[in-house]
């Protein structure tokens, strides 16, 4: 019998994406189908989402939803069973999902995502005439109030699961919005949604959901510490029995080097030498010097301090001193964008930078670089290193969060045993990253060892099969 589950999120690939959250929300329902779990995904009706729906059908209406009328549309897209909250007063505006075109957060974000959570709770309680979920699964702070609305709405209710993709984004709102957000006075309590004198949407999910997951075992341990818990470590420790660290996976159909339309030629783990066409294509497209013997490093990342991009800039002299080349794709903090632009201008042909995001170029970087740099200060899971493994680019990662859980360091013991898949470095400092680059240069000089590690990387499990089974087990445990 298929178990009905409602997934609630603020973004979902391929409809709307700002980061890894969208990839997970888009891929997990497809993986759960093999576990006899039927997922419907509730999303905000941003213009980009509504513009890509075909044959959408209105299945429920709200006369007044946080400032105006709204309706729920049902549709299918890219194999996903979708429910889209069409509320023009909340979502029909230019800019991104969370901010305007100048990067300023929408001031009514608390209401915008409370509305998403309110509708999720209504669906959980049977608002749709022909479908009711046994479990409601919310993702990140934007869906954090779902558990609160279900908990304070009385019984019966479905089971609730809440996934933390990044503890740094907490969805805090001032206390005076309690009534506006349709929360009862009893909710404003340390055992409810109260957080540092205001309303914590992420805190609400952590405190009130029946089960909590985060996106890697190491990150689950890290956020239970004062150093990484961002004010929530005590609550996380208190709910340790409800917490599960489950690794993310990638969509192996979308990230498949043997059938990737973004690449000049296909290749696979059985013949990784076929990636040479992508190496040439990347150098050409990014304007890097045509030196096949030079090790090319890739970055596909937000350009932020969290991602360690300032450390990479500090290590550029060492990187170039090893004769390496660097191809960067990303956007983020203005000072870091400017720093990478300046580096490209100072080192033409050796450093190339594209500010923004380009899905096709992201695929080409994964397929054409020799190693992918992920020097994050913290990383709940990370998906880019999983793509690198799949495409035969050796990940060079900080030993944190999901990076530590997904990359096997090719140290002497691992090389002797034939199990390494990349390089780890610690702590997350410029000096340690320079040490990782020196190790990488030594490995590159031993091409037999390099090819062994590369072949290991391409055979590493990066999909959703094991993790989907764990999610299905959690869902069924709530019934």
Q: What are the angstrom distances between the C-alpha of 376 and each of 163, 192, 238, 381, 401? A: 21, 32, 27, 11, 9
**CA separation for the pair 158, 479 (Å, rounded):** 8
Residue by residue, DSSP assigns 433-466 as: HHHHHHHHHHHHH-HHHHHHHHHHHHHS--SSHH
Q: Could you give the CA distance from residue 175 to residue 197 in angstroms, rounded to a whole number? A: 7
Contacts of 405 (CB under 8 A, 6+ apart): 216, 217, 218, 247, 381
The answer to whether the beta carbons of residues 323 and 295 sit under 8 Å apart is yes
Pairwise CA distance, residues 369 & 423, whole Å: 15
Residue pointed to by tokens 């996106």: 215
Contact between residue 153 and residue 121 where contact means Cβ atoms under 8 Å apart: yes
Contact indicator for 200, 468 with CB cutoff of 8 Å: no
Structure tokens at 331: 């956007």
Cα 83 from Cα 44, distance rounded (Å) = 9
Whether 469 contacts 35, CB under 8 Å: yes
CA R_g for the chain: 23
Q: Are 333 and 399 in contact (CB under 8 A)?
A: no
Q: Alpha helices, DSSP H only, in 51-104? A: 88-91
Other C-beta atoms closer than 10 Å to the C-beta of 285 total: 17
Say which DSSP state 133 is in: -
Map 177-225 to HEC letters: HCCCCCCCHHHCCCCCCEECCEEEHHHHHHHHCCEEEECCHHHHHHCCC
Q: Which residue reads 């513009």 in tokens?
A: 51
Binding-site residue ranges: 17
Q: Return binding residues for ADP-alpha-D-glucose.
A: 17
Q: Which residues of 63-86 are buried (b: 16+ CB within 10 A; e: fewer)?
A: eebbeeebbbbbbebeebbbbbbb
């Amino acid at each position: 019998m298929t178990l009905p589950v409602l997934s609630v999120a603020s973004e979902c690939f391929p409809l709307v994406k700002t980061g890894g959250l969208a990839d997970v929300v888009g891929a997990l329902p497809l993986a759960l189908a093999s576990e006899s779990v039927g997922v419907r995904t509730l999303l905000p009706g941003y213009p980009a989402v509504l513009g890509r729906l075909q044959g959408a059908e209105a299945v429920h209406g709200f006369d007044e939803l946080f400032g105006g009328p709204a309706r729920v549309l049902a549709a299918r897209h890219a194999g996903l069973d979708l429910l889209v909250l069409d509320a023009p007063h909340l979502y029909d505006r230019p800019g991104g999902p969370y901010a305007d075109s100048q990067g300023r957060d929408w001031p009514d974000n608390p209401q915008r995502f409370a509305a998403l959570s309110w509708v999720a709770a209504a669906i959980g309680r049977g608002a749709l005439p022909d479908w009711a979920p046994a479990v409601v699964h919310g993702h990140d702070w934007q869906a954090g109030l779902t558990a609160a609305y279900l908990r304070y709405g009385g019984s019966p209710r479905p089971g609730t699961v809440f996934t933390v993709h990044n503890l740094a984004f907490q969805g805090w709102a001032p206390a005076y919005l309690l009534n506006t957000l349709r929360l009862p006075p009893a909710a404003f309590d340390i055992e409810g949604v109260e957080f540092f004198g205001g309303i914590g949407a992420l805190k609400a999910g952590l405190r009130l959901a029946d089960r909590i997951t985060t996106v890697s075992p190491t990150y689950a341990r890290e956020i239970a510490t004062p150093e990484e818990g961002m004010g929530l470590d005590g609550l996380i420790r208190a709910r340790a029995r409800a917490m599960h660290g489950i690794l993310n996976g990638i969509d192996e159909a979308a990230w498949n080097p043997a059938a990737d339309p973004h690449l000049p030629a296909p290749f696979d783990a059985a013949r990784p030498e076929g990636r040479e066409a992508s190496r040439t294509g990347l150098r050409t497209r990014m304007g890097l010097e045509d030196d096949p013997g030079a090790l090319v490093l890739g970055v596909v990342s937000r350009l932020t301090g969290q991602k360690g991009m300032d450390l990479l800039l500090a290590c550029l002299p060492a990187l170039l001193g090893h004769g390496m080349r660097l191809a960067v794709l990303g956007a983020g903090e203005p000072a870091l964008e400017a720093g990478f632009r300046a580096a490209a201008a100072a080192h033409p042909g050796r450093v190339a930078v594209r500010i923004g995001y380009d899905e096709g170029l992201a695929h080409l970087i994964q397929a054409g670089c020799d190693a992918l740099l992920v020097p994050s200060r913290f990383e709940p899971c990370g998906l880019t290193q999983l793509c690198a493994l799949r495409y035969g680019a050796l990940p060079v990662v900080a030993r944190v969060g999901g990076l530590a859980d997904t990359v096997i360091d090719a140290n002497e013991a691992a090389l002797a045993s034939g199990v390494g898949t990349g390089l780890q470095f610690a702590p997350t400092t410029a000096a340690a990253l320079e040490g990782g680059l020196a190790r990488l240069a030594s490995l590159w000089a031993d091409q037999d060892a390099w090819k062994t590690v590369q072949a290991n990387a391409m055979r590493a499990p990066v999909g959703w099969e094991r993790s989907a089974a764990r999610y299905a087990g959690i869902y069924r445990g709530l019934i």
